[in-house]
Amino acid sequence: MLEETDRQVDNARTRVTRHRLAPGAHTGLHRHEHDYVVVPVTAGRMRIVEGSKESLADLASGVAYFRHAGVEHDVFNGGDRELIFVEVELIS
């Protein structure tokens, strides 16, 4: 398995998606229309590419972070184990 997504909630107020990334897999270049929160299910390393900028983030299971809408990016599993995280988009 490279990447698997599971839309769990999709309504007028929120969109919740669970992502599973194998080592080296990525989400594909995308842009969020709404602010969102990411909650890692597993610990691991995320490699984020935004245009010509690249960064690494070490994620701890259950430790959420917030991002603003509008930034085009691609998210890679930069570790050697499966990376699972839940993304909660705040629509209203």
Domain that holds residue 32: 3-90
What's the CA gap between 18 and 85, in Å, rounded?
6
Q: What is the DSSP letter of 26?
A: B
Question: How confident is the model at residue 91, as a pLDDT?
Answer: 96
Residue percentage of the chain with pLDDT more than 70: 98
Q: Is-contact 35 15, C-beta < 8 A?
A: no
- pLDDT confidence band for 92 (50 / 70 / 90): confident
Domain CATH number, residue 21: 2.60.120.10
Give the distance between the most distant pair of CA atoms in the chain. 37
Distances (CA, A) of 14 to 34, 40, 64, 87, 92: 9, 18, 16, 10, 7
Residue percentage of the chain with pLDDT more than 90: 95
Q: What is the pLDDT of residues 28-54, one digit of tens each?
A: 999 999 999 999 999 999 999 999 999
In the chain, how many domains are there? 1
Question: How confident is the model at residue 1, as a pLDDT?
Answer: 53
